[in-house]
Amino acid sequence: MTEKIDKIRSGDIRTASRLIRNLEDGVLAARTEMKQLFTYTGKAHVVGITGSPGAGKSTLIDGLVEYFRKAGETVGVLAIDPTSPFTGGAILGDRIRMQRHAEDRDVFVRSLATRGALGGLAKATGDAIHVMDAMGKDIILVETVGTGQQEVDIINHSHTVIVVLIPGMGDEIQAIKAGIMEIADIFVVNKADRDGASKLRRELSVLLDMAPPNSFAGGWRPPIVMVENAFDPECFCKGMVDLTTAVAAHYKHMANHDLLGSRMRRKATVELREAIRTCVLEPILDRLICGGDMDAMIERMLKKEVDPYTLAEQIAGACLKEV
């Protein structure tokens, strides 16, 4: 056990990969390893990157990895792929992604698949970030596809959130609708050579102007960074330099304005809640499923003999101690 922990701390990719897979699969021994790793976490700068499919997030991350590596930092990349609820595996995932960094042992790339409907993704995300953190990665880039619940998860686990937009993806109301204005620490207008890029920048700027006075924590107004060509291994374009500067500046801002503590607290709260779900709810569900009680209950619901809340209250009565 201690050997495994040491291996992970020294950045061993095989051991770390196996632990993350076991965490995804809910293997109980993985939980013991996580307990021991916990002491060694909390050092990495976690950067969430979000935006619609087609916004060019993967290319942007590719560029960021290249940049941070040249600056001497070690990097973890966690890609959260929405996936088929039927197959239970990431559809594309690591195989076609990030081939270029495959030889660099200071870059560690993982995909997580969403499995089932009970919020398992959020748990696996937090755990996988902890593993990369314990591996000693300086920067951990977490990519989500889509909007909604996943965005809530990503901000809960990140210190800095980058929202990626591109021109011509529908009007600015879509951006507000997706609720991304409030979660962004940095905006990227990607593919900024396209028509409509400066219009999009102006619209974003107007929306930021309209935000209520206390919206910006410690006075941090999210910068809008224009990126034309995110990945260009030879010369770094102005946009990518601006972006990495903004990422570093945001971390410094948080540290100087006592904001890091509140983000850490939010992160810890989510982790504790997820752990409680894992340790309290899952054993109950497992027991119901294995004993066949779950199936019997569902049949009774389908016959309209009983409603789900009545069943759930009976289960609570049977499982919970009186207080």
Q: By CB under 8 A, what part of segment 185-214 binds its own copies?
A: none
DSSP symbol at 26: T
Residue 218 engages its own copies in binding (rule: CB under 8 A)? no
Pure H helices in 110-237: 120-134, 149-157, 172-177, 197-210
Among 5, 13, 27, 145, binds its own copies (CB under 8 A): 145
Write the single-letter amino acid at 283.
P
Q: From the CB of 14, what's the least distance to its own copies, in Å?
A: 23
Write the single-letter amino acid at 312.
A
Q: How far is CA 22 from the centre of its chain?
A: 18
Is the distance from CB of 43 to CB of 133 less than 8 angstroms? yes
Q: From the CB of 241, what's the least distance to its own copies, in Å?
A: 26
Q: From the CB of 251, what's the least distance to its own copies, in Å?
A: 18
Which range touches its own copies (CB under 8 A), out of 59-67, 227-235, 239-247, 276-284?
Answer: 276-284
Give the total of residues touching its own copies (CB under 8 A).
95
233 or 261: whose CB is closer to its own copies? 261
Which range touches its own copies (CB under 8 A), out of 100-108, 192-200, 236-244, 312-320?
Answer: 312-320
Alpha-carbon gap, residue 318 to 295, rounded angstroms: 18
Lookup: tokens for 320: 């919970």
102 or 217: whose CB is closer to its own copies? 217
User: 29-48: which residues touch its own copies (CB under 8 A)?
Assistant: 31, 34-35, 38-39, 42
54 or 238: whose CB is closer to its own copies? 54
User: 46-85: which residues touch its own copies (CB under 8 A)?
Assistant: 52-55, 80-85
Is the distance from CB of 133 to CB of 44 less than 8 angstroms? yes
User: 169-188: which residues touch its own copies (CB under 8 A)?
Assistant: 169-171, 173-179, 181-183
Residue 307 engages its own copies in binding (rule: CB under 8 A)? yes
User: 79-138: which residues touch its own copies (CB under 8 A)?
Assistant: 80-87, 91-92, 114, 116-119, 121-122
Residue 223 engages its own copies in binding (rule: CB under 8 A)? no
User: 283-302: which residues touch its own copies (CB under 8 A)?
Assistant: 283-285, 287-288, 294, 297-298, 301-302
Lookup: tokens for 145: 């596809």
Among 102, 211, 255, 264, binds its own copies (CB under 8 A): 264
- Residue 21: C-alpha distances to residues 54, 128, 293 (Å): 28, 9, 29
Query: DSSP letters along 214-250, please?
Result: GGSGGG-PPPEEEES-S--SSS--HHHHHHHHHHHHH
Is the distance from CB of 189 to CB of 200 less than 8 angstroms? yes
Lookup: tokens for 220: 């941090």
Q: How far is CA 180 from the centre of its chain?
A: 15
115 or 137: whose CB is closer to its own copies? 115
